[in-house]
Amino acid sequence: DGGITQSPKYLFRKEGQNVTLSCEQNLNHDAMYWYRQDPGQGLRLIYYSQIVNDFQKGDIAEGYSVSREKKESFPLTVTSAQKNPTAFYLCASSGAHSLSGGYTFGSGTRLTVV
Amino acid sequence: EDKVVQSPLSLVVHEGDTVTLNCSYEVTNFRSLLWYKQEKKAPTFLFMLTSSGIEKKSGRLSSILDKKELFSILNITATQTGDSAVYLCAPAQGGSEKLVFGKGTKLTVNP
């Protein structure tokens, strides 16, 4: 079945450590996105990529980094520079230039800094 | 700056009630508006609206877009406890197809 997989579901990190969240899709979608969700808040865009080897900053990119070396994969690294990293992270994908079915979302990674 | 405002932020109703959720937006290069339902984790797609005045329906849910007033509503009739969720409104920007999300409306349906 086609879909988008995020791992791990739960992640604990000590302050000062970098951590990488995985996002893999087998939908043959060109575009992929990373959002952050805090309690009582909507989703805020961190980074997005419309094509392999290219990505753009979203609204809250500071303290995060991404790569897009393969069409299927769009990992997100939360660096020690991110001041408040505890949040729920959602990855999504869509066919480029076509939102007829909306984004497909992964089931998310809940990151807690201890 | 792009802005999406949803109201109310929270709503508690009884089963069988009808609810209307509101979404106003100001985004650059607007292309369409999407509604999502989020229960625990991943948001699930409900509707995409592109044209003004054309109602989209799916069972007890319906939605309409007003591109002149920059506004959309989501109606749920005969609510059930399974409708309890956060409903997210997200205008899409052309070109990048980025979605700009509102904070959501948390709907609680009591038996």
Residues of B in contact with A97 (CB under 8 A): 97
Q: Do B101 and A42 touch (CB under 8 A)?
A: yes
End-to-end CA distance of chain B: 41
Distances (CA, A) of B25 to A18, A94, A98: 36, 22, 21
User: Each residue of B11-46: pLDDT tens digit?
Assistant: 999 999 999 999 999 999 998 999 999 998 889 999
Q: What residues of chain B lie within 8 A of the CB of A98, using their CB? A: 97
Number of H helices and E strands in chain A, helices first, is 0, 11
Low-confidence ranges of chain A (pLDDT < 70): 1-2, 96-101
- A26: number of CA atoms within 13 Å, CB side? 4
The per-residue pLDDT for A96 is 59
Residue pair A31/A93 in contact (Cβ under 8 Å)? The answer is yes
Chain A hits for B50, Cβ within 8 Å: none
Q: What is the pLDDT of residue A78?
A: 95
- The share of chain B scoring above pLDDT 90, in percent, equals 79
Give the number of other Cβ atoms within 10 Å of residue A83's Cβ: 7
How many beta carbons lie within 10 A of that of residue B13, not counting itself?
Answer: 16
Tell which A residues from 16 to 45 touch B, by Cβ distance under 8 Å: 31, 33, 35, 40-45
pLDDT tens per residue, range A6-21: 999 999 999 889 999 9
State yes or no: pLDDT of B76 exceeds 90. yes
CB contact under 8 A, B98 and A102: no
Angle of CA points B60, B64, B67, to nearest 5°: 170
A63 touches chain B (CB under 8 A): no
